[in-house]
């Protein structure tokens, strides 16, 4: 691979047309698309190393081995009085970002998700215009391959269908759905179980060839450079500790994800003025919404011991799932389950439960959670991790907690139904004696985990929305020459897993930027 890391402008300055901060899920798409035009130069700043040749990253089924390791920023949450304070938010530090260590479950957001964005002020982001961006995606999105379909996961799908009367879905992206059970679509190459991440699909084919694309790996962006209201570039620290200013002739595109995009803005003096002043950070632009609207998909877990070991084959150990619509008037599903072919007891163990030698789990989650959290700084030192207060289970009507209680009850119905029932020896946690609403809620919240979907912290919205951070063209309100494009711009949470939505944000951002240029 040629060394891309020391390309300077012809006058010796580090100057490019575009500086993209974060070579993750959205950033990979944008850098790749912008450099299709050979006259455009792009610097892509990525905090982590390349994923090229790294089997630990590129092999999908090894995803769990990456959690908490050297490629994980591993963000803690603040104390969660109503939930689980021990959750660690994994965020990838490697080219491709979270698409290089996630499970690559691939759902086009539902029409109701995009229409909700449009209604929330994201003009032009409705389901109909967004369709074109799904069609453009370069990732290999395919249903879980036959060889990876584990017998117990097949039986889960059958049992869910029988117990609940929901349809079986073969190809969740073929059309909109409100309920159904089936194997997921994944962004992977079944042959060899290889990822089709944002970096594999968008950067690997071009990164050695495009002279106009400069990759700065293991390079950390710590402060934006502004001249008045115009973003001029970004200050970065390279792997060797060198501090340089990368200048953007046209635009800075911030793609550091739902945690690190607001974090960088706050450290650059862009955010709620009073908070910044309190920390001694000079306020450059008072923008109260930065870090607000922290969204996630919380989930709980119910675990069974199986009669014996289950077959080995799988794409990534959570290949099938279920969507339920409890509210028949609702626009889409309001309860989702992943089915794990492993006993996922990490959180229950803290309450004294034991991990069975072999088992399975169902993880009910809340597609449209109502609790809203907040990300904020606790120090002016850019190396201190920001505080993530998800305020899990704090919504007024207790909708979020009730959803998980419903989830546990529905999971038990499925477990009682053949052909799944015959596999299961006993319910390990919460255990068959835990049946009342209060007890179930307490259990569900204390073992709650995250589906790892933080979003919304630089939300897109209309001009009269005080807490909107970017406009529908993704430009930071009140500034020039800078956009945000990643999961942080989601106005609301998608009912489905968000990665494809993030890739589509990347495609649309490239379109908006290219169109303007």
Ligand X SMILES: Cc1cc2nc3c(=O)[nH]c(=O)nc-3n(C[C@H](O)[C@H](O)[C@H](O)COP(=O)(O)OP(=O)(O)OC[C@H]3O[C@@H](n4cnc5c(N)ncnc54)[C@H](O)[C@@H]3O)c2cc1C
Tell me whether residue 255 or residue 468 sits nearer to ligand X (CB atom).
255
Tell me whether residue 65 or residue 311 sits nearer to ligand X (CB atom).
65
Report the residue from 22, 109, 461, 481 that binds ligand X according to the rule CB under 6 A: 22
Cβ 21 to ligand X, closest distance in Å? Answer: 6
Token code pair at residue 228: 């008045």
Tell me whether residue 242 or residue 397 sits nearer to ligand X (CB atom).
242
* Rounded alpha-carbon distances, angstroms, from residue 166 to 151, 298, 326, 376, 409: 20, 23, 11, 42, 16
Report the residue from 20, 26, 253, 320 that binds ligand X according to the rule CB under 6 A: 26
d(CA 409, CA 27): 40
Cβ 24 to ligand X, closest distance in Å? Answer: 2
Is the dihedral angle over the CA atoms 492, 494, 497, 499 positive or is it negative?
A: negative
Cβ 511 to ligand X, closest distance in Å? Answer: 17
Report the residue from 83, 97, 289, 332 that binds ligand X according to the rule CB under 6 A: 97
- What character string, x for contact with ligand X (CB under 6 A) and - otherwise, covers 184-213? ------------------------------
Residues 496 to 515: which contact ligand X by CB under 6 A? 497-499, 502
Residues 433 to 492: which contact ligand X by CB under 6 A? 452-453, 486-487
Q: Which residue numbers are catalytic? A: 453
Size of the site for ligand X (CB under 6 A): 39
Residue pair 18/34 in contact by the 8 Å Cβ criterion: yes
Binding residues for FAD: 94
Residue pair 122/472 in contact by the 8 Å Cβ criterion: yes
* Rounded alpha-carbon distances, angstroms, from residue 74 to 66, 134, 225, 410: 11, 30, 27, 32
Cβ 484 to ligand X, closest distance in Å? Answer: 10
Binding residues: 94
Tell me whether residue 220 or residue 340 sits nearer to ligand X (CB atom).
220
Question: Which segment (101-109, 157-165, 245-253, 404-412) binds ligand X by CB under 6 A?
Answer: 101-109
Residues 392 to 431: which contact ligand X by CB under 6 A? none
Q: How many other CB atoms are there within 10 angstroms of residue 472's CB atom?
A: 21
HSE of 299, CA atoms in CB hemisphere, 13 A: 26
Cβ 237 to ligand X, closest distance in Å? Answer: 9
Residues 357 to 396: which contact ligand X by CB under 6 A? none
* DSSP letter string, 460-476: B--TT-TT--B-TT-BB
Residues whose CB falls within 8 Å of the CB of residue 227, separated by 6 or more in sequence, listed in order:
none
Closest of 188, 187, 195 to residue 106, by C-alpha: 187
Question: Which segment (40-48, 243-251, 341-349, 419-427) binds ligand X by CB under 6 A?
Answer: 40-48
d(CA 285, CA 297): 31
d(CA 339, CA 316): 11
Question: Which segment (41-49, 238-246, 383-391, 414-422) binds ligand X by CB under 6 A?
Answer: 41-49
What is the maximum alpha-carbon separation in the chain?
73
d(CA 441, CA 454): 23
Tell me whether residue 102 or residue 365 sits nearer to ligand X (CB atom).
102
- Decide: is 109 part of the binding site for ligand X (CB under 6 A): no
Closest of 259, 204, 309, 255 to residue 43, by C-alpha: 255
- Decide: is 45 part of the binding site for ligand X (CB under 6 A): yes
**Phi then psi dihedrals of residue 427, to 5 deg:** -80, 120
Cβ 260 to ligand X, closest distance in Å? Answer: 3
Question: Which segment (17-25, 328-336, 359-367, 398-406) binds ligand X by CB under 6 A?
Answer: 17-25
- Decide: is 31 part of the binding site for ligand X (CB under 6 A): no
Question: Which segment (250-258, 342-350, 351-359, 400-408) binds ligand X by CB under 6 A?
Answer: 250-258
d(CA 314, CA 87): 26
Q: Which residues bind ligand X (CB under 6 A)?
A: 21-27, 45-48, 90-93, 97-99, 101-105, 220-221, 255-258, 260, 264, 452-453, 486-487, 497-499, 502
């Amino acid at each position: 691979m040629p060394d891309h890391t020391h390309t300077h402008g012809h006058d010796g300055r580090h100057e490019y047309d575009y500086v993209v901060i974060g070579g993750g899920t959205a950033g990979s798409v944008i850098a790749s698309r912008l450099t299709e035009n050979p006259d455009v130069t792009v610097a892509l700043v990525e905090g982590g190393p390349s994923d090229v040749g790294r089997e630990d990253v590129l092999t999908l089924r090894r995803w769990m081995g990456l959690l908490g390791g050297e490629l994980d920023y591993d963000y803690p949450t603040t104390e969660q009085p109503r939930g689980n304070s021990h959750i660690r938010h994994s965020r990838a530090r490697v080219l491709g970002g979270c698409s290089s260590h996630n499970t690559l479950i691939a759902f086009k957001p539902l029409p109701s998700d995009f229409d909700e964005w449009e209604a929330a002020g994201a003009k032009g982001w409705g389901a109909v215009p967004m369709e074109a961006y799904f069609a453009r995606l370069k990732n290999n999105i395919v249903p879980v391959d036959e060889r990876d379909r584990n017998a117990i996961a097949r039986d889960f799908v059958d049992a869910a269908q029988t117990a609940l009367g929901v349809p079986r879905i073969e190809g969740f992206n073929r059309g909109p759905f409100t309920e159904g059970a089936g194997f997921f679509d994944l962004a992977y190459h079944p042959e060899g179980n290889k990822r089709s991440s944002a970096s594999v699909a968008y950067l690997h084919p071009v990164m050695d060839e495009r002279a106009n694309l400069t990759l700065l790996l293991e390079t950390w962006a710590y402060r934006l450079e502004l001249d008045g209201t115009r973003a001029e570039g970004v200050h970065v620290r390279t792997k060797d500790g060198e501090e340089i200013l990368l200048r953007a002739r046209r635009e800075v595109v911030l793609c550091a994800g739902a945690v690190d995009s607001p974090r960088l803005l706050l450290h650059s003096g862009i955010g709620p003025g009073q908070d910044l002043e309190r920390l001694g950070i000079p306020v450059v632009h008072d923008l109260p919404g930065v870090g607000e609207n922290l969204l996630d998909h919380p989930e709980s877990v119910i675990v069974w011991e199986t009669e014996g070991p289950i077959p080995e084959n799988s794409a990534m150990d959570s290949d099938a799932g279920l969507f339920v619509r409890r509210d028949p008037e609702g626009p889409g599903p309001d309860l989702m389950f992943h089915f794990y072919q492993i006993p996922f007891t990490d959180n229950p163990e803290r309450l004294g439960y034991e991990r069975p030698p072999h088992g399975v789990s169902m993880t009910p989650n809340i597609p449209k959670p109502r609790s809203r959290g907040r990300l904020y700084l606790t120090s002016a030192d850019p190396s201190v991790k920001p505080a993530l207060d998800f305020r899990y289970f704090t919504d007024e009507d207790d909708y979020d907690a009730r959803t998980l209680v419903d989830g546990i009850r529905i999971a038990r119905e499925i477990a009682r139904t053949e052909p799944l029932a015959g596999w299961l020896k006993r319910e390990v946690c919460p255990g068959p004696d835990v049946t009342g609403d209060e007890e179930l809620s307490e259990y569900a919240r204390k073992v709650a985990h995250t589906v790892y979907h933080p979003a919304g912290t630089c939300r897109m919205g209309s001009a009269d929305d005080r807490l909107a951070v970017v406009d529908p063209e993704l430009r930071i309100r009140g500034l020039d020459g800078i956009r945000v494009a990643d999961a942080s711009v989601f106005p609301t949470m998608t009912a489905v897993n968000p990665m494809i939505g993030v890739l589509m944000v990347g495609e649309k951002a490239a379109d908006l930027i290219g169109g303007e240029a």
